[in-house]
Amino acid sequence: MPGERKRKILFSKIYSFACWKPPFSDDHAQIGQRGFARVVYCNDPDNPEVVQLNYRGNYVSTTKYTAANFIPKSLFEQFRRVANIYFLVVAFVSFSPLAPYSAPSVLAPLIVVIGATMAKEGVEDWRRRKQDIEANNRKVKVYGQDHTFVETKWKNLRVGDLVKVHKDEYFPADLLLLSSIYEDGICYVETMNLDGETNLKLKRSLEATNHLRDEESFQKFTAVIKCEDPNERLYSFVGTLQYEGKQYPLSPQQILLRDSKLKNTDYVYGVVVFTGHDTKVMQNATDPPSKRSKIERKMDKIVYLLFSTLILISSTGSVFFGIETKRDIDGGKIRRWYLQPDDATVFYDPRRAPLAAFLHFLTGLMLYGYLIPISLYISIEIVKVLQSVFINHDRDMYYEDTDKPARARTSNLNEELGQVDTILSDKTGTLTCNSMEFVKCSVAGVAYGRVMTEVERTLAKRKGERTFEVDDSQTDAPGLNGNIVESGKSVKGFNFRDERIMNGQWVNEPHSDVIQKFFRVLAICHTAIPDVNEETGEISYEAESPDEAAFVIAAREVGFQFFGSSQTSISLHELDPVSGQKVNRVYELLHVLEFTSSRKRMSVMVRNPENQLLLLCKGADSVMFERLSKHGQQFEAETRRHINRYAEAGLRTLVIAYRELGEDEYRIWEKEFLKAKTSVTSDREALVASAAEKIERDLILLGATAVEDKLQKGVPECIDKLAQAGIKVWVLTGDKMETAINIGYACSLLRQEMKQIVITLDSPDMEALEKQGDKENIMKVSLESVTKQIREGISQVNSAKESKVTFGLVIDGKSLDFALDKKLEKMFLDLAIDCASVICCRSSPKQKALEICRLQDW
């Protein structure tokens, strides 16, 4: 997908978050009441109603111009420049006798400037056109009338067609997933072209269509999809599938969007729902904008100033000229006889002095027109084109890993490259590698894992401490002052060292039963799938996120190997503590309550071989500790202490818990959950979340995990150079404050000589207020506290302006909610802009988006 379209889609996503839009519009909310607007007849091209529906084709165009509108539209773009309008007017006037020079001397440079710029625009648009041609002519397999899948071009696809998409291929349109190579109908999708996320997304087909696995099974397949109209919402979809006399609700989990890519799955089958410009990716795209740099807009202002000066000079001259001309014949006496005023043309006629003065004014505009140099625009256009060529051939900007050089898609913004003032960055995948390694854990109040992290090494250097290796059997609380052994990793995603629980030694620990349950949760509570190497027999895992893969790998390395799954079961190889032998255990998978950014947790319901109903849950400490039962808080104090220590070491933490369910409780809840899940109204997601909330309670704490996401190579050096250049860096992250601060030091975002301004609502007084539950009082006190802290920060900055002291601002998510309020946002942004570095921790996606939009407006 062209980079400009991708950027626009990302900004659309950000802006929709920032404006706090509800996930459904009013029309969307009424779908369940008035019926669905779009009807798709699957695999039924001869149906007469298909012709009447007349849906768009799958041809797409992202170009700015067409052959018909190129000249008028491009000319309009050129004459948006004030100087070009002036030169055009002067060129027309130069054909009159008023001109003090020949017309070609003005017209030729204007034609050169406009022609060269139009040619440049045409070349850049032709490149977009070539990308469109390439995309429209990609091949995909479509189910034909001869009951086989044959290759056709993307642009020939129609709504209702059945397609087969292979691994590492892009989806040609918005598809409904019917089945995949896996029995449970799952597949993995990379949506980087849609939302910039590199993590794979798990998609799962309806159980009713899983049996459609070959060409024969599709011969009698017909179905009807009724769904919402085309819209730009990437993460919502409401519709139903009518198949074999039954109606099945559809959700975003069954939708494969155009320009996303199939990964880690050999092939999938799908039916086309939206095509071409009806697809969600194209609904998000906007027409290529007319890009104008700040310098170009500033030049327009300068031209206005020069033009005003030109008018002033010409007006002054014409006034005096008119006065002198009128006096040439005064009472019949000729003053300037040598000008022959009694026989003058209209340009010097004393009897029509005002008209002569006006014509003199026009002549002055042309004569002094060199105040506005057209050569400047010619030079700038030539320089821009040459700079874009240099950028494309710059060896220092070549990225060897992906074999990609730099590519200037437009030359209009070259001068903006050197005017960056502030960089807004996420942490995961930008400052860090997004490659997680399981390094530590806390189980039953005991800390395990003795490997030193990057952040711990940085903090040790900052405190003047020395890293060393000692006997790792002396303490159960590794940390900066504990016994830390640096060791090379042997398994990707697993960098854990502790002889107390490795190699089956966990059975000798005091709380071996808790350790067993802890690693069972890691091996079961996920959406990963095992991939067995047929030659070596080794098992690897394809997961939705690197965190999830690291958990499953950790469970495997400790002795709880996840080796098989289906829609209804999960199979493990476990160590039996009694016999000391590996045994196979199959857990019946009942329901999966998926992780979302708002829920901050994931749960699965299983029935174990002993016929016990279990809810297994993992999630952020901010939502998990409040869901513990009174008798499930046995290890809470120690676990909190370890989580804080892990956060200081720059690690990502999750709390692990479980609970046993009663049969009656489960049956009552399941009815409510299935009713919510099969709802076809717009509030289905809210109903599902509400049902999940009712069962995810009274949990028993098992422990916490800690994974490390290492910094990208060269990040500290890069941030140092940006700081030396006076460029400010803002990092928006969901990490705890301690984690964010220590990673800030590790990547040079925070430095020793820098003074910290910390704005937080995590204080004993606020915790006491929250326990009282008086929301109005909490809001009032919180607002006052944030206001006071911002004012104190501004005071510190103002008092140090004469010195060379730099400041780093750290603010947590709770405080950010109040800081971005209309009453405080100006004061907060004034403070943030005066700081060299800003870290916003515990930020939600909406807060990140809102802050980006506020800064852009500012």
* Cβ 325 vs Cβ 356: under 8 Å: yes
Q: Max Cα separation, the chain? A: 134
Q: What is the DSSP string of 418-440?
A: GG--EEEEESTTTTEEEEEEEEE
Q: How far apart are CA 407 and CA 127, in angstroms?
A: 12
In sequence order, the β-bridge partners of residue 840 are 732, 811
Q: Give me the pLDDT at residue 747, please.
A: 87
Q: How far apart are CA 5 and CA 338, in angstroms?
A: 70
Residue with tokens 């006096």, as numbered in its chain: 327
Instruction: Report residue 256: phi and psi, to 5°.
Output: -110, 120
Residue 559 CB contacts under 8 Å (≥ 6 apart), including other chains = 504, 506, 519, 574, 575, 582
CB–CB of 494/484 below 8 Å? no
Phi, psi (rounded to 5 degrees) for 590: -100, -55
Cα–Cα distance, 237 to 596 (Å, whole number): 16
Per CATH, which fold does 432-708 belong to?
Calcium-transporting ATPase, cytoplasmic domain N (3.40.1110)
Q: What residues does 810 pair with on adjacent strands?
A: 758, 839
CA 166 to chain centre: 26
Q: Are 541 and 529 in contact (CB under 8 A)?
A: yes
- How far is Cα 617 from Cα 605, in angstroms, rounded to an integer? 9
Q: Is 524 helix (H, G, I), strand (E, B) or coil?
A: helix
For the chain, what is the radius of gyration of the CA atoms? Answer: 34
Q: For residue 541, how far is the Cα from the chain centroid?
A: 25
Q: What is the pLDDT of residue 849?
A: 62
Average pLDDT, 10 consecutive residues per value, the chain (858 residues): 40 36 37 62 82 86 85 84 78 78 78 82 85 92 89 93 93 94 85 76 88 87 90 85 89 91 90 92 75 75 85 90 79 66 71 84 81 74 82 84 79 74 82 87 94 81 57 38 42 89 91 94 90 80 85 93 86 85 91 84 94 94 92 92 90 94 93 82 78 92 93 87 88 83 86 89 78 78 91 91 86 85 86 90 66 58
pLDDT of residue 847: 59
Residue pair 230/173 in contact by the 8 Å Cβ criterion: no
E-strand stretches of 613-712: 613-619, 652-661, 700-711
Q: What DSSP designation does 394 have? A: -
Task: Please state, in angstroms and rounded to a whole number, the distance separating the CA atoms of residues 136 and 157.
Answer: 10
**Is 178 within 8 Å of 212 (Cβ atoms)?**
yes
CA distances to 64, 66, 490, 661 from 73, rounded to whole Å, are: 9, 9, 61, 67
Distance (Å, whole) CA 307 – CA 277: 45
What gap in Å lies between CA 847 and CA 811, rounded to an integer?
A: 12
The catalytically annotated residue of 132, 300, 426, 476 is 426
pLDDT at 12: 38
Class of domain 713-857 as given by CATH: alpha beta
Which residue in 804, 716, 820 sits closest to 759, CA to CA?
Answer: 820
Give the pLDDT score at 814. 84
Tokens 């979340």 belong to which residue? 689
101: helix, strand or coil: coil
616 vs 711: CA distance, rounded Å: 31
CATH number of the structural domain 3-43+157-284: 2.70.150.10
DSSP 8-class letter at 547 = H
- Catalytic, 161? Answer no
Residue 725: Cβ-neighbour burial (10 angstroms; 0-12, 13-18, 19+): exposed
pLDDT at 24: 35
For the chain, give the number of residues: 858
State the residue for tokens 């700040």: 294
Strand 162-166 with 139-143, pairing: antiparallel
CB 49 within 8 A of CB 41: yes
789 contact partners, CB below 8 Å, separation of at least 6: 759, 760, 815
What angle do the packed helices 737-746 and 636-648 form, to 10 degrees? 20
Q: Which one-letter DSSP state was computed for residue 46?
A: T
Give residue limits of the domains in the chain: 3-43+157-284, 59-138, 376-419, 432-708, 713-857
Q: Do domains 3-43+157-284 and 432-708 have the same CATH topology?
A: no
